[in-house]
Structure 1
Amino acid sequence: MNNIVEQIQKSYQAERIRVSYCVFDIGTYLKDLAEKGLIWVLKDQKNISDPEKILIEHYLNEYRANQIYDNLEEFLNIQSPKNLSAAISRKPSQSTTPSKEKQTKKRQHLEVRDVKQFIGYKKAKELEKKIIELCQNFPSYEVDHIVNQIERSACSIKDSIEMGEQIYVGEKFNQYSIAIGSAKETTAWLQMSLGQKYITQVQFDELDNLTTQVVRILTKNLSNIKEKEGKGMDLPNPFTPNVKNFGAYNNALLLVEKIYEITRKPEFWKEKNLVKKMRKRATSSVANIAEGHQLYIPKKFRFFNDSMKALDGLDSSLETSLIKGIVPEKELKEIDDLRISIRNVLSTKMANISDGKGASI
C-alpha cells in the first residue's frame, strides 16, 4: 500500500514538471486522480504550492465518495510498478474500452456555423475596432503597457469566439470561457484608462456596454447548449458574476490610482524602470482578478494566483523605492495596507472555493 502511495506521488511530481507547474494544466490531472479515488494521497505531500493544495482540497471534497483508502492493490489490479504508473497517468480518452457514458459524450456535437454571421462575433469585432481607434489617442508612454494590453485582450475575445465555432461542446465552453474572461479583462483596462483620464466617461460607458453585451450573448448561447446538446456532460455553470461587485477588484483599482499618483512625483522622474515595474504590477493585479471571473475553477485559481504574484512583485518594487529613499515609509504604508488587504481577500476566496463555499466567484 505504501509503495503504491509513493508511486502515485512520484507520478504527480513528474506531471507537474511536464506541464511546467502550470496550475491550470495540472488541474485536469488532479481531477482525473480525484475521479479515480486517488487524490487523497496528495493531501499532505510536501513541496507543492498553495494553489495546488487548494485545488487538491477542492477535488477531494467534490469526489470524497470516490476515494479508495483500503486495498488499493486489489482495486487497481496492479501486478508491477510499471503497470501502476500507466494506470495512474492514463487519461479517460486512452481507455481501451470506453464506458457507455463516454461513448455518448463523444456523439454529442454541434453544428458549425459561419461565425462571422454570429451576433457575438460581430459585437466583439466592433469592440476591437473601437478600442484600436481609441488607443491612438493614449499617451506615448502607455503604448508598451496599457495600449498593448487592452488591444490584446479585445482581440482575444474575437479570436476565442471564432475558435469556439466547432463541433465539440466541451471545447466551445472552453473557448467561450476564455472570451468571457478576456471581455472582463478588457473592461478592467478600460476602467484603469478612465481612472487616468485617458478616456472620457462617455467613451468608457459605450465600450463597457459593448463588452457586457458580448458576455451576455455568449452566456445565453452556452446556457442553451448546456440544456440541449450538453445533457449528461460535465459542463460548468455558464453564468459568471459581475467583477465590479467584487471588493478586491475595486480595491485593486484604487491601488492602481495610488501607484500612478505616487510615481508621478518628481522623485520618480529619474526612475523610469522602477516606475514601469510598479505600474505594470499594480495594473496586472487588476487585470488578473477580472480575467479570473470565468467558467472553470482551475482558471480562476490560475488568474487569482497570478494577481497575488503581481502584488508580491509590487511589494518588492515598493521596498526598492524605500531603500533608495524616494518615498518615506509613512507614505507607503497606506499603499502597502491596501495591497495586503487585496491579497488576503484573494487567498480567502480561493480557500472558500476549495471548501465549496464560493464556487460562483
Structure 2
Amino acid sequence: MLDIYTYAKRVAIAALIVLLIVAGFYMLSQYGYFFLLVFAGILLAVLFCGMTDWIVRKVHMKRAIALAISVLFFFGLLFAAFWFVAPTVGEQFQQMRQTIPESLDRVQDWLSEQRWGEQLLSQIPEDPSSMLPEQEQILSQAGGAFSTTLGFLADLFIVIITALFFASDPALYTRGLAKLFPVRTRPRLMEVLTRCYHDLRMWLIGMLAAMAIIGISTAIGYSIIGLPMAFALALIAFLFAFVPNIGPWIAGIPAVLIGLLEGPDMALTVLLVYGGIQIVESWIITPIIFQKTVALPPALLLFFQVLLGLVQGGLGLLMAAPILAVLLVFIQELYVKDVLEAKPEDASASDVPESARATAKR
C-alpha cells in the first residue's frame, strides 16, 4: 500500500510539473514581456540585496540605511562612469558611425572581385536610394523611434521601482509566495527560494567579473595593436558579454569592420586578438570564476537563448541565462531531489495520510 501511495505521489508531481511547464510557455508567449520585466526587477533586487547584506555583515548597520547606501553607490558608480567615459566614448561612437559604412563599402568592393560575391551583389539594387522609404514613412519611423525610446525609459523605470520594492523587504514577498502552498511544504519552498537567491547572486557576481575582465582586456588589446576607437569597442564588448555564447561574438563584428579600414592585416590582427581573448575567457577565466559561483550547461543555455529570443526578442535573449539558472534550481531541488531521489520510507513517513497508514497496518 505504501508503494502505491509513493508511486501515485510521484506521478501526480510529474504531471503537475508538466502542466506548469506548458502553462509557463503559454503565459510566456502571451504575456512574456511583462514577466521578463518583473524578472529583470527581481535580478536587480538581488544585486541590491547582495550589496546590502554585505554592508550589514561588515558594518552592522540597519538594513534600510545599508540598502540606501547600496542603491546610491550603484547609481553613483554608473553616473561617475558615464561622466568620465562618455566624452571619449561618445566621440568614438560618432567616428564609428562614419567609418563602419566605409568599411562596408570595402567589403562590397572585395565581394565584387569574387565570383560568388558578384552573384550576391547582383541581388542588391543598383540604385540604393530606391530602397529608402518615402518622406511619410520616414516621419512615421521617426515617431516610432520616439515612442520606442519613451517605452524603453518607462520599462527601465518599472524595473528600477520593482527592484527597490523587492529589495526593501524581500521576506514579505517570499513569505507571501510560500503562503500559497500547503503548510507542510512551506519550509522546503523557503529553502528553495533561498537557494535561488544565492545562485542568482553568485551568477551576477561571476558575470560582472567576467564582463569586467573582457572589457579591460579588450581595451588593452585593441590599444596595443593600434586599433582606432578602442574604448568604444571595448565598451561594446563589455556590454554584450552579459549575453553568453552569442553576445561576445556579435561585439567583435564592429571591431573587424573598423580594422578593415586600416587594411586586411589589421582586420586579421583584430580577429586574432579578440578571438584569443574570447578563447582564454571561455576556457580558462570563466571556468575558474563559475567554479565558485554558478555554471550553466553551454548547449542548454544556447538552446534556451534561442527559444526566448524567438519568443520575446532582445529582452528574452538578455534574461535567458538568469532565468535558466533559476529553472535549474527548481528542477534540481523540487524534482530531482524531492521526487526522483526521495527515499520511499521518508515519503511514507511524511506524506502518506494517517488513515492510509492505519489501513496499511491492518
Under a length normalisation based on structure 1, what TM-score does the superposition of the two structures give?
Answer: 0.34
Which structure has greater helix proportion? Answer: 2
Structure number with bigger Rg: 2
TM-score, L = length of structure 2 = 0.34
Structure possessing the higher relative contact order (Cα contacts under 8 Å, 6 or more residues apart): 2
